[in-house]
Amino acid sequence: MRKSIIVAALAGLLGLIPLTAKSQLSVSYYSSNLSKIGLAYDFTPRFWSEVRLYADTDISNITPELVLCFNLASKEFHRIYLGFGGNVNYLNGFVMPVGVQFTPFEKFGRFSLHIEFEPSLDLVSETVIIQASWGVRYRFLRQE
């Protein structure tokens, strides 16, 4: 049952990635006690989604997380975002990431740093997990 949910979530995200001239794909890494790697897709300058995998687990506990984010403020060298999503397998529940992403070096515009605060509600154990992380992101295509 869980595997079918994971496959459906990943297939749903892949169905949302029609590559157009204005699309933005990026990869990211989140460093914390619950480290994650992610693949993101920007639908518009305001909305983007990301599939994240918890990296510090064994193969049977790989936990995918799917989030949809909204950029609250976007400037030339930073953006502040808020999101909502869910995860399944080792953790099962809802997440709400809040973060800031900034590009510290103008010459390296494809690289950015991010800081994120993410409360998670695990429905199985009925606990709230507070995650805080920092990380890096790399964009494959430049914004127009």
Q: For the chain, give every domain's residue range.
A: 2-13+23-139
Q: How far is residue 67's CA from residue 49's CA, in Å, rounded to a whole number? A: 6
The three-state secondary structure class of 104 is coil
Q: What is the pLDDT of residue 34?
A: 83
User: Please, which residues have CB within 8 angstroms of residue 24's CB and are 6 or more apart in sequence?
Assistant: 40, 41, 42, 48, 139, 140, 141, 143
pLDDT grade for 17, boundaries at 50, 70 and 90:
very low
CATH number listed for the domain at residues 2-13+23-139 = 2.40.160.20
- pLDDT digits 0-9 by tens, 97-140: 999 999 888 788 889 999 999 999 999 889 999 999 999 999 88
Tell me, yes or no, if the pTM score tops 0.85: no
DSSP code at position 143 = -
Whether the predicted pLDDT of 13 surpasses 80 = no
Q: CB burial class (10 A; 0-12, 13-18, 19+) of residue 56? A: exposed
Q: Which has more pLDDT, 100 or 55? A: 100
